[in-house]
Structure 1
Amino acid sequence: MNSQQAWGADMAADASEGMVRIRDAAIELFGERGVAGTSLKSIAEHAGVSQGLVIHHFGSKAGLHRACDEHVVALIRVGKEQVVAKGPGMNPLSGLNLFEEGRPLLRYLVRTLSEGGEHIDRLVDDMVADAEAYMAEGERMGSIRPSATPRERVVVLVLWSLGALVLHEQLNRLLDVDFLSPSNDPRDIAPYFGPALELFSHGLLTEGAYSELAAVFAAPTDEQEPS
């Protein structure tokens, strides 16, 4: 590598580092104050860069917001894939540990989902697509049961999870679980994850009750005309 190539590589590395600092600062402040309540100036100050550099890299606050969405979705996907890849022998606390490491991401999701906006459709679509992939891998590894309606199941699970984030204040009121708490102990969220794991692993309905309800929603066969 000649001196000009080395200089170019250093410049690219500096630019990449600056973008990461800006993005991480935005995720933190968006999570604390909301997107509407966070200015580009405050993000630049938090990242230790100029506001002009934020504009240079991301174009606008909307562009920066999109970059934050993409990064958060990617981190959630990687975390889920790591848990699912362990198969039936996965550590039940590994999900909680990932949850704890991702508290800034959860704060960001809570704020951005609560504020809404056109970007939410893309955010949810990306999460559903990722969930389809790692749920299919979980089936292959033997840790997740197959489903007759795999995509619909994924959509329901993603929306349930995001709904719990949006209603985090009610979760805190009723179960004393605070998704936004700075607590370092992942077991603080056990009152939420315990029942969730019970539902996922043991189910809710008895076999007889499930069969009766499933029959109501089953699609009619060729021999059975809908009433």
Structure 2
Amino acid sequence: MRSPMAPEPHELSTRARIRAAAIDRFARDGFGVGVRAIADDAGVSAASVIKTFGSKEALRAACDAYVFRTVREAKRDVLAEPGAPGAFLGQLARIDEYRPLVGYVLRSIQDGGPHAAEFVDHMVADALEYIAEGVAAGTIVPSRDEEARARYLMGAVFGAIMLDGLRPGAAANPGDGMLRAIEHTALPALELMTEGFLTDRALLDTYLEYMPDPPEGGGDTA
């Protein structure tokens, strides 16, 4: 499996190197960082960054697109393909390679504003695609409201990492605390996803009766 930060074969190495440097620098220092700092990290001139991408805004858009694609592919490998446990172990073995991408996602969400909202909407749309593939493959239970579930799961995952960053001694870079956050959250998250939390569905049935127009579907029936 290709490293998430490695250049793709069809891309120019300079473009891929600048993009990787930008993702890492934006994750560490935020989106106010200057083009010169990114250029220095990539080993090119600031003029080369602008020549390659056109503008800092276009560079950020390219970073967004790359992060969306990489997250989507990684999730699809684990959730929608046969032999998912093996793929999951493979992802765990390479988890540190995802540090800049996770930091970039967290920084994008923390940045707030219209761009953050669009960023989250795009990630939800991607999540709906690979969740649907998982449902079709029989690896994921269907939901009565797939979009609501996707947003909840995204909030749970990234919210947990952000909360872990509030612990004493947490790293300033959102991505640097990722390994520690995963150590603290992976077990309870996987327990909830695979074994559930409540021993019966009484609360769900009560809530569905309370709803004026409850959605149909879900993983089972009453």
TM-score interval (norm. to shorter):
0.7 to 0.9
The answer as to 2:199 corresponding to 1:199 is no
Equivalent residue, structure 2, for 1:68: 63
Cα-Cα RMSD: 3.1
Paired residues for 1:63-212 under 5 Å? 63-87=58-82, 89-91=84-86, 92-97=88-93, 99-170=95-166, 172-173=167-168, 180-181=175-176, 189-207=182-200, 208-212=202-206
- C-alpha spacing 1:22/1:89, structure 2 compared with 1 (3 Å): closer
What's the TM-score, normalizing by structure 1?
0.76
Residue 40 (structure 1) aligned with residue 35 (structure 2): yes
Report the secondary structure of 1:93's partner residue.
helix
Q: Distance in 1 between matches of 2:92 and 2:214?
A: 41
Structure 2 CA distance, aligned partners of 1:17 and 1:89?
A: 32
1:217 aligns with 2:211: yes
Task: Report the more deviating stretch, 209-218 or 192-201.
Answer: 209-218
Moved more, 140-149 or 211-220: 211-220
Query: Deviation of residue 43 (structure 1)?
Result: 0.8
The one-letter code matched in structure 1 to 2:102 is: L
Which residue identity lines up with residue 78 of structure 1 in the other structure? Answer: E
CA distance in 1, matches of 2:24, 2:53: 17
Larger Rg: 1
Higher helix share: 1
Q: Which runs of 5+ in 1 are unaligned?
A: 1-12, 222-227
User: Deviation at 1:90?
Assistant: 2.4
What residue identity is the alignment partner of 2:111?
E
Aligned length, in residue pairs = 204
- SS of residue matched to 2:165: helix
Question: How many angstroms does 1:119 deviate by?
Answer: 1.8
